[in-house]
Every structure is written in structure tokens, then in C-alpha cells.
Chain A
Amino acid sequence: MGPETLESLQKQAIAEVLEAYPEKAKKNRAKHLGTDNPEGVKGSCDTTRSNKQTVPGVMSQRGCAYAGSKGVVWGPIKDMIHISHGPIGCGQYSRGGRRNYYIGTTGIDTFVTMNFSTDFNEKDIVFGGDKKLKKALEEIDELFPLNNGISIQSECPIGLIGDDIQAVAKVHKKETGHQTVAVSCEGFRGVSQSLGHHIANDMIRDHVMPDTSHRKDFESTPYDVAIIGDYNIGGDAWSTRLILEEMGLRVIAQWSGDATYKELAIAPKAKLNLLHCYRSMNYISRHMEQEFGIPWMEYNFFGPTKTTESLRKIASFFDEKIQEQTEKVIAKYTAMTDAVIAKFRPMLEGKKVMLYVGGLRPRHVIGAYEDLGMEVIGTGYEFGHGDDYKRTKEDLGRSTLIYDDANEYELEEFVKKLRPDLVAAGVKEKYVFQKMGLPFRQMHSWDYSGPYHGYDAFAIFAKDMDLAMNSPVWNHTKAPWDKEVEGA
């Protein structure tokens, strides 16, 4: 398929998809859908509308601000307790689903996979929940004495009933001397989880960054870096850390997968902030730059091409010693990743992929697929902003369908029309496409595998993609008595 036909097919798909909508919604959605090319003129990456209200009445794949704050940014900080403040549901549905790996004794000195809820009842809604919250904080300190702080994650009702959780947190902090942070991340704020990231970052800025207790006696080295925006899904940050340490750097903080409160507090001691998920933590990186003069740099650890590129970029911030060491690291691992490519590429070459994820992945994982000879023909963000789309352009390999805040109807139609060989998105979509006989990988949770960051991780990624694409199970869909030509 030449680039022209691919692009016209994509354009045609958009036109057809829009037909089903009533006029108002159609006009709205048209602005979120488009195509773009790696070279030349401005395309969808420059112009797409994003970070806007979701059209009502569709199956959006978006989450809420609470999900962005509690689920993404705060929740993985392992030695703090994060209260889901409000009714029982939000905390229960988001319990233990994200695979933010950590080491610790759960329930004693670490708490990530647990669910703490103030379990609002009608009385709390009517009369306010501040008293209950205060009591909850006290009970937590009594029963979980090794917690290194508490965060209060507001669910929808809190902001609507006029509770003053900031005041409650302040009092508790004063009384106990323990870090207590109230985060007003009610789910109705903003249009997606994205605002939740921002609000969460702001609270780190206001409450954690000013806390100098841990950095007072911290002894810095010229090679100190912090990993920002890695949630250690399936251990991603650990496989990242390994490489950085082999380069001769010292990772002093890991935000926020497997993070401890102390690591957040000492991050301003880093010489360079390494930002993986730009979307969720660019705010705090900018703040640290302004406030503490720490430069930050985006990097991409998916697939050897991008990893190597990133390593060289990181090394360029440091002296020759680091740069030399980095080349050694690259040489050492490239031998392995070349072998991985030699092994898996023949089985995956030319296979078409459609992505739909959040954060950094809609662009960052493209390189990893292309390293395996796979071709990404569609990608989009659940909650991206204009700057995400702009950054996507350079990762494109060919004409690519771009969809912002795509809903299930659109994804289904796009897939039917463009016929990719693999769909990589979230759990809500997984079984829809598998039923259509399409191999699918969850790209939020790494489908219970991973890590996918770094060189060792690329071998896992390659193996997983091969597993998905080449499993014999996809051949069984058609019954032997079924004579029709498939796809006719």
C-alpha cells in the first residue's frame, strides 16, 4: 500500500465515521480527527483539537481528575497513605489495577495496593465530611504508624458540598508534624485525568517541594539525576535505573512509581531531571527548573533506537567520562537488541498497528514498533494536549490517522476500515478487538507483562508482540465448516 492510498483510505475512514453523528456532535468530532505525515506540510499533529470537553453520550475511554491524581501521580508513592475521600466506588474500582510495582511490606511500611476510603454516607453529604476526615486521619496514624504522610484525594462530591479539606489537612499536619496533603482533584474538574495530573503536581509543588528536612544533609554528586514521570508499571523505572547507573549516573529519586516521600523531597538536589511522561509531570519539572534551576529533559526508553538516542542526549549533559561510559553501555546492549531484532523482525515485519493510549505512549512506543519492522498507521491520545500532538509528528513513520479522545464507536470503525494487524490500547477495548479476531495488547498495564522501558525490556516487548501476533489461537476463529472467504 503506497503512502497516498493509505492517506486517502484514512481520510475516507474519517468521513464515514463522522456520518453517524448528529450534526452538533459531528462538527465537534471532526476537529479531533485527522491524518498527518512525517514530512512536509502541517497536518493533524499541528491542528487537532484536544483537551476539550468529551461529547456527551458516547463511550469515552477517558478517566477523571481523581484518576489522574490518585491513580497516576500520588497513588504510587509507596510509604504514604492515599485516602479516597468520598463515596466507596472510585477507590474500589481503581484499587490495584495499575501495576505500579514497589518493594515494601504492604500494610506496614508501604500501602500502594490497598484502598483507604472515607466511605461517605448520606449523612456525610448532608452535614459535611470534615469531621469524619479528621477522625480518619487520626485512625490511620494510630493503626499505620509507619506511614510517611497522608494524601487526601477528593472524589466528586467533596468540592460540591463545600467541605474544607485543606483546613482539615493543615490542622492535622500541625498537630502531628506529619505531612498531610489535601488534593482537590474532584472527578468533575477539567475534561479528563489530565487536570488531575496538574492539580497533583501543584500540590507537590506547594507541599513537598518546600519541605527541606530531607535535603538538608543530603550529599550531592555531580552525577545525580531524578527520574520523573515513570510510574514503574511492571517495573519500568527499575529497568531504566539500571541503564542510568551503568552510565555512571546516580538516580536519587524516582517519581512516582516505587517512590518514597523522601525521594520526592530530595529531587531538587538532582543536577538533571529526566522526564519520561511529559503529560503528567511537565508541570513540576518546569517548577523545579524555575525554583531550583534544575534543567529537565524528555527522553524515550521504548525500543533500542529511541533508547540509544536518549542515552546520548542524557550523556551530553555530563562530562566525557559519562559519555564514554554511555557508549560502552550502548555497545553492550546493542549487540543484544540487534539479536532480538534479528530473531523477531522476520515474524513481525510489515504488520500494521493501531494505538490508542494516554500520557506519552501514543508517540513514544511508535519507535519500538518500528524497530521491529511494524508500521504504526493510527495513534491518538485519551487526554493529550496540543503540545503532545506537536511532539508526535517527529515519531511518525508514514501517513498516520490521528484521533483525539476517540470513543469506542470510532475506534471500532477505524479498525474495521484500516484493518490493522494489531491493536494496542486499554482493557476496555481489549475484548472488543479480540472478538473481531485481532491480536491485541494492553498498553497501559503491559498486559500483565513488562517492563517495557530500556534495552532488556525491549526483548520482552518484542517477545510479547510476537506472542500476540503469532499465536495459533487467532486461526481458530473460522470454523472448518465455514466456507466463506474471510473478510469478503
Chain B
Amino acid sequence: MQDLDNIVNGQKLFLKPEYQEVLKNKKEFEGSMGAINPAKVEEIQKWTESWDYREKNLAREAITVNPAKACQPLGAVMVALGFENTMPYVHGSHGCVAYFRTYFTRHFKEPTPCVSDSMSESAAVFGGLANMKDGLRNCNALYKPEMIAVSTTCMAEVIGDDLGAFIIGAKDEAEGELDNVLIPNAHTPSFVGSHITGYDNMMKSILEQVSTEKTTVDEERINIIPGFEPYLGSLKEIKKISKMFGDKIVMIGDHEEQWDTGAGEYKLYAGGTKIEDLKGSINAKATISLQKYSSIATAKTIKNKWKQTYETCNPIGLSGTDAFVMKLAELTGKEIPEELKQQRARLVDAMQDSYPYMHGKKIAIWGDPDFLLGMVSFLVEMGAIPTHVVCHNAPRKNWEAEMRAILDKSNRSDECNIWPGKDLWALRSLLFTEPVDFMIGNVYGKELYRDTKTPLIRIGFPIFDRHHLHRYSMSGYEGGINLLTWITNGILDQLDEETKDIAETDYFFDSVR
């Protein structure tokens, strides 16, 4: 029973003897192997750790187990929330939208506005035009957006709804109510690619459909597309760096403030790229994408339709940031500011202070393609060994070769493996058969940590079980210091863990490291 002076929740409540008894009694009625024959569980457990299991596991073709990717509309919602007074609108079922909102909200610990037009059976039969007509009007009346960015769920895609025509139809019947709202739209079929594909499709559509008036090129204007960036601090830092090179370097799709508002009042919309700035994108001198593989289609629009200079940079880690800074210097014709030079020197200094701990450490890492290119580059710069690089949503073209080129900079390149298209249950086998010292990844690494005991350093998306990490930067020189801090201290925490046994290992439990 509860002790009034020490009321405990489930964590400790169920450890009390009366509850242990309840759990034991329950086994009598259970049919799981653990209740019937625990030895068998152990036997299979051992087998899952073997090379034999690994081969079968890696040969899987049809079932995905514990994926490390999500679906297109999620990325589209992120893009929409990067623009001022913009409501993401998903044409399809509200079930999906409940999921998108929950997913982002759990990561950012912030509200995530997004509507759907609640398509259901009748829409499956007759199409979703009626939903679109009512939906756009209601959305506009309730949330008064300047722009409504329409994407689709797989349902709308399968029944083949024509977004462009539907929106025109809806505007026609709205008695003028929708005349002053921008309504760009993108098809985001969730059975193609992943959330970064959806990001790309929505970004491309917004640029193509809203930034249409080509006038004269503004030689000072540069667009920066951040990509599917879960680290709000990174957005902030990129903007800070850009500012040092000019006032007209504009982030297109800047969702930093939307997911970082203060206490005191709730604002539906916060921050975001100004619609005016969005409209002017076409007249910029150049566009830099910070996530090449999250903007493949967008790149085509910029290069081929806009005939604009298009560059990609990946400012994660030292050399990635160097390249970004030099690109800005080149495009603006400006000197690299003293402040940045100092920031770089500080990062290098910090790397030189901490390197013994990362050096030679074997690391398994997973995440989105561009995230991995940046992170692996940093790991190699520090002398760590990215033993398993798992990219579930790896692009088919070029990515693997690009990753290999980065790994080849390591003198232990032959120990590094790239696993495109593999999920986290596959990684489990890799970790058992070819163990590493640390893992770097999102919350889904938690079960891998429990199963394999490989310590997890949380960097990635989503992270639901630790607070505030997304507020920091992982890009730029200062972001580099954050990465270094997280990883080094993760390693040191583990060192303490391993040396804390009294009279056994604690001779190495040093106060100074």
C-alpha cells in the first residue's frame, strides 16, 4: 500500500511485494514464452545475437522492423511552419495529422498547428473535393492565415485527387473569402521516399507557386534552405553566421520561432520567413541548400527554372562549416569576419583539448542522409571510427559514394561500413556481431541500448525522452562545440559508469579527466 509520506508512482509501486505477487500470479494465465518456458526465451535471445541470425535478419525483404524514417507529409508540415502566418493543411484523413502533430510536439515540447480536411469513406468514393471546399474556408475563417500550404496523405494520393484543380474549385466557391490567401500545394505520397522527400516536394512547390515574379537579380540577396532541421539552435546559428555576411541573406523556411515561443501567451503562428522575402526568392543571386538530399527536386527548380546559382553546403563539424563560411565569402565577395575566425579557432582548440576520448572510439550512427554526412565528417575529424553508418532513407543516387569519400579520410576507413536502406532491427544484429563503443542516434536507440548495452548519445530526430536538446545548435563552429561536448561527456559518463565499482574498478574513477 502507498505510504502517505512517500507516495510513489508505478516505477516503484510495482516493486512492492504485493504487486510482485500480482505479476507472478498473472503468469499462470499467460501464454508468452517467458511465462511458460523462460529457458527458451534465453535460447532465442542468444540466437538473435549470432551471425546466423544476422544473415537472416539482413536478408529481410518484406518486413521493416523498427524503422528510422517517417513519411512525406511530416516533412511538408515542417516546411509550412517555416513561413510567416502559414497554416499547414493536409488533404486527407485527420488521423495522420493527429500523428504528425503529436510527433513534432513530443520532440519540441511545443504545440504544432496543422489542419486536415478529414477525408473519410465518402471522400474515398467521390474524391475529396467537397472536403477541400469546406476545409479551406473553415481553416481560413478560424485561423486567419496568410498562406495555407496544402500537402496530401497517402489516401488522397491513392484516390488520385487533383490538388491544383480542387483548390481553384474551392476558391471559386468561397465567395471571395479565399482571394487573399496564398494556397501553394504539393503532392506528398507517403509511399514514395520519406519525410525528407516531403520536405523537398513542399519546399519546391511553395517556391514555384509563390515566388513567381522574376524581375532583376538582387546581387546581395542569397537564399538559404535549411532542410529538415530538428535543431532549432542550428537555424539560429546559421542565421547569425549569415548576418555577418550581409542583411539580405534570407533563410527560406525558418521554423525556429514556431517551435520556440515563450511563456505568457499562446500564439498560433510565430516567426517564419516573411512572405515578402519568400516572394523575392526568385530574384536572389544564389540559393544555398544545407541539406542536399532534402532538396533534390527543389534544386531543379532553382537551377533549371530560375536559372539561379545553386550551391549545397553541410555546415556540421569543422570542414563542413569551413566550406559554408567560404561559400558565403565567395558569393558575397566579403572577407571572413574576425568573429568567425575566432569561433573556428575556439572549436579547434576544444577539439584538441578533448580528442583523446573520441579518438579510436567505434561508433554506430543512424539518421537522415545529410545529417549523417555532416556527423560522420565530424567523427572522422575527431579520429573516431564510424563503424556502422545506417541510413534507412538513403537516396539511391550518389549518397553512398559521397559517404565513402568522407570515410576514406579516416585512416581506419576499412573498418567503416555503410548500411543504406537498413532499419534498426538490422542494426541490432550489427551491434551484437560487430560491437561498437557508442551509438549516436535518436530515441529509438533506447531499445538498442537496453538490448546490447551500447551507450547511446542522443543526437538526431526524434528525441522524446530527453529535454531541450533541440534548442542547441549542432551546426556551425559553435554547434561543433555542442557536438563535441555531448559526445565527449557521453564518453566520460560511460567511463565513470565502468569505473565506479568500489574496490574493484574505482582506482580509475578519476576526478580529473
| B residues less than 8 Å from A119 (CB atoms) | 64, 67
- Which one of B155, B266, B450 contacts A157 once the chains associate, using CB atoms below 8 Å? B155
B94 contacts which chain A residues (CB < 8 A)? 54, 60, 62-64
In the complex, A452 Cα to B172 Cα: how many Å? 52
Q: Which residues of B contact A67 (CB under 8 A)?
A: 95, 98-99
Judged by a CB distance under 8 angstroms, whether A460 is at the interface is yes
In the complex, how many angstroms separate the beta carbon of B481 from the nearest chain A beta carbon? 29
Contact A450 B62, CB 8 Å, known A61-B98, A105-B45, A263-B29? no
* A93-B102 contact given A22-B137, A79-B31, A409-B142, CB 8 Å threshold: yes
- Name the distance in Å between A478's Cβ and chain B's nearest Cβ: 8
Of the listed stretches B117-125, B234-242, B485-493, chain A binds B117-125
Residue B116 interfacial (CB < 8 Å):
yes
The interface size bin for chain A is 35 or more
Query: What is the CA–CA distance of A56 and B266 in the complex, to the nearest angstrom?
Result: 23
Q: B107-115, B291-299, B364-372, B401-409: which one contacts chain A?
A: B107-115
Q: Mark A120-162, 1 if CB is under 8 A from B, else 0.
A: 1110110000001111101110110110100000011101110
Given contacts A155-B154, A336-B2, are A59 and B106 in contact (CB under 8 A)? no
Least CB distance, B251 to chain A, in whole angstroms: 24
Chain A residue with Cβ nearest B156: A156
| Contact present for A435 and B70 (CB under 8 Å) | no
Residues in chain A near residue B101, CB distance under 8 A = 59, 428
Cα of A63 to Cα of B97 in the assembled complex, Å: 8
Partner of A235, one of B10, B64, B99: B10
**Please, which residue of chain A has its CB at the minimum distance from the CB of B177?**
A22
Q: Mark A214-244, 1 if CB is under 8 A from B, else 0.
A: 1000000000000000000011001101100
Known: A90-B96, A94-B99, A427-B102. 6 other contacts (CB 8 A): A63-B94, A67-B99, A258-B26, A409-B142, A428-B105, A459-B2
**Alpha-carbon separation in the docked complex, A242 to B142 (Å):** 48
Q: Are A21 and B142 in contact (CB under 8 A)?
A: yes
In this assembly, does A331 line the interface, its C-beta being within 8 Å of a C-beta of chain B?
Answer: no
Please choose the segment from B188-196, B326-334, B505-513 that sits at the chain A interface, where 4 or more of its residues have CB less than 8 A away. B188-196
B323 within 8 A of A: no
Q: Is the CB–CB distance between A83 and B63 below 8 Å?
A: yes
B65 with A59: CB separation less than 8 A: no
Q: Which 9 A-B pairs have the closest CB atoms?
A: A64-B95, A262-B31, A89-B71, A57-B135, A56-B135, A93-B99, A57-B138, A135-B62, A56-B117
In the assembled complex, B345 has its CB within 8 A of some CB on chain A:
no
Query: What residue of chain A has the Cβ atom nearest to residue B2's Cβ?
Result: A459
Could you say which residues of chain A place their CB within 8 Å of the CB of B138? 21-22, 25, 55-58
**B450 contacts which chain A residues (CB < 8 A)?**
106
Within the complex, what minimum Cβ distance (angstroms) separates B395 from chain A? 14
- Whether the Cβ atoms of A57 and B33 lie closer than 8 Å is no
A56 engages B4 (CB within 8 Å):
no
Asked whether A343 is an interface residue with its Cβ less than 8 Å from the other chain, the reply is yes
A160 to B190, CA, bound (A): 15
Q: How far is the CA of A214 from the CA of B29 in the complex (A)?
A: 10
CB-contact partner of B139 in A57, A193, A428, A450, under 8 A: A57
Known A64-B95, A87-B154, A428-B105: A122·B10 in contact at CB below 8 Å = no
In the complex, are the beta carbons of B22 and A241 less than 8 A apart? yes
B154 and A114 contact, CB distance less than 8 A: no
A34 at the interface (CB under 8 A from B): no
Contacts of A356 in B (CB 8 A): none
**Chain B residues at the A interface, C-beta cutoff of 8 Å:** 1-2, 4, 7-10, 13-14, 18-19, 22-23, 25-26, 29-35, 40-41, 44-45, 48, 53, 56-57, 60-67, 69-74, 89, 92-103, 105-106, 109-121, 123-124, 131-132, 134-143, 153-155, 158-159, 177, 189-192, 194, 261-266, 425, 428, 444, 447, 450-451
Query: What are 29 A-B interface contacts by the 8 Å CB criterion?
Result: A20-B142, A53-B120, A56-B132, A57-B115, A57-B116, A59-B113, A59-B114, A60-B94, A63-B99, A79-B30, A88-B64, A88-B69, A115-B64, A135-B63, A143-B53, A143-B60, A146-B33, A148-B31, A156-B92, A160-B124, A160-B158, A189-B121, A258-B26, A260-B29, A333-B1, A340-B4, A428-B101, A432-B266, A476-B263
List A residues 59-116 near B (Cβ within 8 Å): 59-67, 78-79, 83, 86-95, 97, 101, 103-110, 113-116
Least CB distance from B8 to A in Å reads 8
Chain A 334-375 near chain B by CB (<8 Å), digits 1 or 0:
001001100100000000000000000000000000000000
Interface assignment of A118: CB less than 8 Å from any CB of chain B: yes
**Contact present for A110 and B99 (CB under 8 Å):** no
Contact (Cβ within 8 A) A156 B154? yes
Contact between B154 and A117, CB atoms less than 8 A apart: no
Known: A89-B190, A121-B192. A436 touches B41 (CB 8 A): no
Output the least CB separation between A422 and chain B (Å). 16
Are A88 and B93 in contact (CB-based, < 8 A)?
no
Per the bound structure, the CA–CA distance linking A374 and B25 in Å amounts to 37
**A20, A132, A156: which contacts B158 (Cβ < 8 A)?**
A156
Specify the chain B residue showing the minimal Cβ separation from A244: B22
Name, among B67, B106, B177, B191, the residue most crowded by chain A CB atoms within 10 Å (CB to CB): B191
Min CB gap B79→A, angstroms: 16
Q: Residues of A contacting B26 with CB < 8 Å?
A: 241, 251, 254, 258
Residues on the B chain within 8 Å of A235, using CB: 10, 13-14
